[in-house]
């Protein structure tokens, strides 16, 4: 059983299709990245998963249950929307203690102390949250979302509005809670570098449909077309002429003394090197190339904008 399952999900508002036949799964213990431009339907998907909105068609399950109809299952899920859900006039410890009572957390004082240490706010435990920076409030909001030790936590744009330093702190915190708390993390984010660094699997939503769904490793592996960059001791253009006609080289280009080749098969990399050495070229470095998640995202979103 997967932690999250979405099958054939569709939802419209005022006659406009927001989600159209959306399907994907999230395995237990994964950090899953849900990507898409503003208005793509990411938050709508989360609200349907949480049972806050009803789908027009399709089926969703979290931990094998329908959260719209299962109170026990809802208690096993945590969520953080863009609003941190904190009371500014209360202290950091006071906020967490209040929610610990709502969640009926065992040993609430111990759990509050543990989480304040985890998010790096132990020394500010008694300070009013209204005096905190945006990044500190976000970290405390994450602590609130995982207070009751949920099995799955939904984080909706956790780095929104944060400076680069605070974004890094939140990213490190997500990795830590996934490892230490053994939670499945469903991350809705615009920060593609952040997603590429911490997520194991991603789905790209654009135009109401899933345009890509795979592991980050598979998506960034040059989309199945192995690419190699070879640094040469001069004569890059001549090297391109030499190997460009080889049957396993589908594309060849030169950037100074760097030869960039796309191959039909990754097993052909040794053959490429042997061909260059045999032709008398001196090789200084060989590097397997990959595409960034940002490139892949822009490509899929661009295609979605050009058609259904």
Domains of the chain plus CATH, in order, are 4-214 (3.40.50.300), 222-289 (3.30.70.100)
**pLDDT on residue 31:** 95
pLDDT, averaged across the chain:
88
169 to 133, 136, 163, 201: CA distances (angstroms): 13, 9, 10, 21
Average pLDDT over residues 40-64: 95
E runs forming strands in 42-176 = 57-62, 77-80, 152-156
What does the alpha-carbon distance between residue 271 and residue 210 come to, in Å, rounded to a whole number?
38
With cut-offs at 50, 70 and 90, classify the pLDDT of residue 308: low
Alpha helices in 4-91 (DSSP H): 42-49, 71-74
With cut-offs at 50, 70 and 90, classify the pLDDT of residue 15: confident
Q: Which residue has the higher pLDDT, 242 or 46?
A: 46
Is 80 exceeded by the pLDDT of residue 303? no
Average pLDDT over residues 235-261: 83
Range in 25-34, 92-101, 160-169 with the lowest mean pLDDT: 160-169
HSE value, Cβ hemisphere, 13 Å, CA-based, for 120? 13
- Find how far residue 296's CA is from the centre of its chain: 13
**pLDDT on residue 297:** 86
Q: Which residue has the higher pLDDT, 74 or 235?
A: 74
pLDDT in tens, 107-142: 999 999 999 998 889 999 999 999 999 889 999 999
- Find how far residue 247's CA is from the centre of its chain: 37
What does the alpha-carbon distance between residue 114 and residue 91 come to, in Å, rounded to a whole number?
16
pLDDT in tens, 256-276: 778 888 887 777 888 988 998
What does the alpha-carbon distance between residue 273 and residue 37 come to, in Å, rounded to a whole number?
41
Average pLDDT over residues 189-204: 89
- Enter the DSSP assignment of 131: G
**pLDDT on residue 257:** 78
pTM: 0.78
Q: What percent of the chain has pLDDT over 70?
A: 95
Q: What percent of the chain has pLDDT over 90?
A: 50
pLDDT in tens, 154-182: 998 888 777 888 788 888 888 887 888 78
């Amino acid at each position: 059983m997967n932690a999250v399952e979405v099958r054939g999900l569709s939802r419209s508002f005022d006659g406009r299709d927001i989600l159209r036949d959306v399907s994907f799964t999230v395995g237990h213990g994964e950090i899953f990245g849900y990507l898409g431009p503003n208005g793509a339907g990411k938050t709508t998907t989360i609200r349907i998963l949480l049972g806050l909105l009803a789908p027009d068609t399709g089926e969703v399950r979290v931990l094998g249950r329908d959260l719209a109809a299962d109170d026990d299952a809802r208690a096993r899920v945590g969520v953080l929307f863009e609003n941190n859900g904190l009371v500014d006039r209360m202290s950091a410890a006071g906020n967490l203690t209040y929610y610990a009572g709502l969640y009926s957390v065992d040993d609430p004082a111990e759990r509050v102390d543990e989480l304040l240490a985890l998010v790096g706010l132990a020394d500010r435990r008694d300070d009013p949250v209204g005096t905190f920076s945006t990044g500190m409030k976000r970290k405390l909001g994450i602590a609130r979302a995982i207070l009751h030790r949920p099995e799955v936590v939904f984080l909706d744009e956790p780095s929104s509005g944060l400076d680069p330093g605070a974004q890094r702190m939140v990213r490190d915190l997500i990795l830590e809670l996934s490892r230490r708390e053994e939670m499945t993390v469903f991350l809705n984010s615009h920060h593609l570098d952040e997603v590429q660094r911490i997520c194991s699997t991603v789905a790209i939503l654009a135009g109401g449909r899933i345009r890509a769904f795979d592991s980050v490793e598979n998506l960034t592996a040059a989309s199945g077309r192995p690419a190699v960059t070879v640094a040469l001791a001069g004569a890059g253009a001549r090297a391109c002429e030499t190997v460009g006609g080889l049957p396993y080289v589908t594309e060849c280009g030169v950037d100074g003394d760097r030869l960039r080749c796309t191959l039909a098969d990754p097993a052909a990399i040794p053959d490429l090197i042997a061909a260059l050495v045999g032709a008398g070229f001196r090789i200084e470095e060989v590097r397997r190339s990959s595409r960034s998640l940002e490139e892949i995202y822009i490509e899929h979103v661009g295609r979605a904008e050009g058609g259904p």
